[in-house]
Amino acid sequence: MNKVPMRDGYGQALLKLIEKNNNVIAMDADVSKSTRTEWVRKKYPDNFINMGISEQDMLGTAAGLALGGMIPFATTYCVFLAGRAWDQIRTTVCYNQLNVKLAGAHAGISVGPDGATHQSLEDVALMRVLPHMTVIVPCDAIETEKATIAIADREGPCFIRFGREAVPVITNLETEFQIGKANVMRGGTDVVLFANGGMVHEGLQAAERLAKEGIELKVVNLHTVKPLDVESVILFALQTGAVVTAEEHQIHGGMGSAVAECLIQHAPVPMQIVGIRDTLGESGKPEQLMNKYGLSVEDICDAVRKVNRKKGEAR
């Protein structure tokens, strides 16, 4: 399967956006080669601002640019964006509902050897809790490109996060992408898996493995964590009677939490959350880390088997 880093989709989208709208500005905090905003610097230097190593200042400046009629895309490693500049995002960007776009690169544990300081595992929780914020976690490079273009058209603060590694391309140009609308990637009647980011591909693999055991797993790409597609979450939970979520993020406060909050109010069913279990990471190869921290295909399979058994007990 063809593997492409999601950030390539981000860079492509920025070029397309600027071609159409000169008010789009790519901002970076000295990691433009990694985030692909360098592509903007090369092709449209007037639409690129390198803020140096000062993420808080970048967010404030982005707020000012938005107040001045621009559409800034503040871009850097995810942990330094959502974490370090959180108060700036909260009190200036969200309070004023400014049209600032946030792009967190190198998110998740799979960023690998750099270790815990550079592994953003809390950003979805940090951004999801902010009023007015849209939160999107795309699953591959094509979807990242579509999502980036979509948030440019959406008025107000928006956050998108993606990892560093090349990941399999599992959507195509025809796959629908709509903010706030879940995508069914594979049908199934026993259990539904809501996954986002690179975990969607892992989920599809898990579904194949489980099918051999006679468990039919429905795989849903829940790329928009906020606003949550409440209708689909409830519908699929009721249809299958058991839910698993999978994300490259802490189990606390992420997409799984969002789904749980929804289900406990509207359709309580047995549920398992696959994610990082309340710990910071460490250095290692991406695949080693995904295995150690419980994000492998087999971890998803275990969660599905467990929740499927619970469903039987409940009945």
Partner 1 sequence: MNDYLRIACQQVREDIVTMIHHAGSGHPGGSLSAVELLVALYQGGVLKHDASNPAWDGRDRFILSKGHVAPVLYSVLARSGYFSVDELSTLRELGSILQGHPHMECTPGLDCSSGSLGQGLSIANGLAMAFKKRSLSNRVYCLMGDGELQEGQIWEAAMTSAHFKLDNLCAIVDYNHVQLDGTTEEIKDLGDLQMKWASFGFHVIDIDGHQMEEVLGAYAEAMTVKGKPSVIIANTVKGKGVSFMENKCEWHGQAPNAGQWLAALTEILS
Q: Is 234 exposed, middle or buried (0-12, 13-18, 19+ CB in 10 A)?
A: middle
Q: Which of 40, 49, 179, 237 binds partner 1 (CB under 8 A)?
A: 49
Q: Could you give the residue numbers annotated as active site?
A: 55
Query: 150 in the Ramachandran plot: left (φ > 0), alpha (ψ -120 to 50) or beta?
Result: alpha
Which sign, positive or negative, has the C-alpha torsion 289, 294, 297, 298? positive
User: Angle CA(287)–CA(120)–CA(294) in degrees, nearest 5?
Assistant: 40
Indicate the residue among 59 and 246 with the shorter CB distance to partner 1. 59
Q: Compare residues 88 and 250 and give the one whose CB is closer to partner 1.
A: 88
Q: Is 76 a binder of partner 1 (CB under 8 A)? A: no
Least distance from partner 1 to the Cβ atom of residue 41, Å: 15
Examine residue 51 and tell whether it contacts partner 1 (CB under 8 A).
yes
Q: Residue 140 Cβ, how far from partner 1 at the closest point, in Å?
A: 33
66 near partner 1 (CB under 8 A) = yes
Q: Which is nearer to partner 1, 94 or 185 (CB)?
A: 94
Nearer residue to partner 1 within complex by CB, 87 or 208 = 87
* Binding-site member from 70, 105, 170, 199 for partner 1 (CB under 8 A): 70
Q: Which of 72, 104, 138, 270 binds partner 1 (CB under 8 A)?
A: 72
DSSP assignment of 200-224 equals HHHHHHHHHHHHTTT--EEEEE--E
301 belongs to the binding site for partner 1 (CB under 8 A): no
Give the DSSP per-residue string, 227-238: S--HHHHHHHHH
In contact, 83 and 126? CB cutoff 8 Å: yes
Q: Looking at the DSSP assignment, which residues form a beta bridge with residue 183?
A: 221
- Categorise residue 15: left if φ over 0, alpha if ψ from -120 to 50, beta otherwise: alpha
Q: Among 85-93, 169-177, 196-204, 250-258, which window interacts with partner 1 (CB under 8 A)?
A: 85-93
Contact call for residues 219 and 204 (beta carbons, < 8 A): yes
Q: If binding is defined by CB under 8 A, does position 61 make contact with partner 1?
A: yes
Query: Does 216 interact with partner 1 (rule: CB under 8 A)?
Result: no
Q: Report the nearest approach of partner 1 to the CB of residue 57 (Å).
A: 4
Strands of the chain, DSSP E: 3-5, 24-28, 48-50, 71-77, 101-105, 134-136, 158-161, 166-168, 183-186, 191-195, 217-221, 224-226, 243-250, 271-276
32 binds partner 1 (CB under 8 A): no
Q: How many chain residues bind partner 1 (CB under 8 A)?
A: 29
Task: Name the minimum Å distance from CB 232 to partner 1.
Answer: 32
**48-50 vs 24-28, strand pairing mode:** parallel
Candidates 73, 77, 90, 93; CA nearest to 26 is 73
Q: Cβ contacts of residue 77 below 8 Å, gap of 6+?
A: 31, 34, 35, 104, 105, 106, 118, 120
Amino acid at 84: R
CB of 116 to partner 1, least distance (A): 23
Q: Least distance (Å) from partner 1 to the CB of residue 119? A: 24
Residue 69 touches partner 1, criterion: CB under 8 A: yes
- Our finding on whether 87 is near partner 1 (CB under 8 A) is yes
Selected binder of partner 1 within 16, 43, 44, 56 (CB under 8 A): 56
Scanning the structure block, which residue is given the tokens 């994610």? 275
Stretch touching partner 1 by CB under 8 A, among 30-38, 46-54, 225-233, 278-286: 46-54
Residue 45 engages partner 1 in binding (rule: CB under 8 A):
no
Task: Return residues touching partner 1 (CB under 8 A).
Answer: 25, 46, 49, 51-52, 54, 56-70, 72, 87-88, 91-92, 95-97
